[in-house]
Amino acid sequence: MISSTMEQALLGQLNREFSSAYLYLAMSAYCSHLEFNGAAKWFKLQYEEEHNHATRIYNYLVEQGVQVVLGEVPSPPSDFGKLLDVFNASLSHEQSMTSGLNDLSDHALKEKDHATYNLLQWFVNEQVEEEATLGGIISKLKLVKDDGYGLLMIDNELGARQAASSPP
C-alpha cells in the first residue's frame, strides 16, 4: 500500500506521461506537415512509447488499490520551427521528465516505499537512453545544418526506427 502523498505524486506522473505522449503526437504531426516522414514516424513511435509508460504507471496504481483519477492534458504546441528545433524541444522535455522522475524517486526513498522506488528505477534508466538518443540525433542535425541532402539522409535514418518491445 502506498501513502496518499505518493499516490498523488504518481497520479501527477501519470498525467505527465500522457502529456508527454500528446506532445510527441503533436511533434509527429508537425514533422508530417514539413514532409519529414521519417521524423514523423520516429515521433509517432515516441508517442506510443510514452503511452506505454503511462500504462505502466496506471497498472501499478491499480495494483496498489488506488482510485485512478485522470487529470487534464494540456494542448501541446503546433509549431516547432526547424527539424533541429523539434529535437531540441524534445530533449528539453526529456530533461524535464528526468528531473521529475528523480524527484519522485527521492520521494519514494524518503518514504521507504521500495516497491514504488523499484518501479521508478525502470523509468530513471529509460531516461538515460532517451537523452542519449536525442543528443545523438541533435549532433547529426547540427552537423548537416540546412543541407537538404543531409536532412534527407537523417530523415531516412529516423524512419528506420522500429517500435520498442513493451516492458512487462
Interatomic CA distance for residues 62 and 32, integer angstroms: 36
Give the sign of the dihedral formed by CA 36, CA 39, CA 45, CA 49: negative
pTM as predicted: 0.94
Cell triple for 29: 504531426
Domain map (residue ranges) of the chain: 4-159
pLDDT digits (tens, 9 = 90+) for 118-142: 999 999 999 999 999 999 999 999 9
pLDDT digits (tens, 9 = 90+) for 56-115: 999 999 999 999 999 999 999 999 999 999 999 999 999 999 999 999 999 999 999 999
pLDDT digits (tens, 9 = 90+) for 2-53: 999 999 999 999 999 999 999 999 999 999 999 999 999 999 999 999 999 9
Supply the pLDDT for residue 166.
Answer: 57
Supply the pLDDT for residue 1.
Answer: 82
Interatomic CA distance for residues 6 and 116, integer angstroms: 9
Q: Which CATH architecture has domain 4-159?
A: Up-down Bundle (1.20)
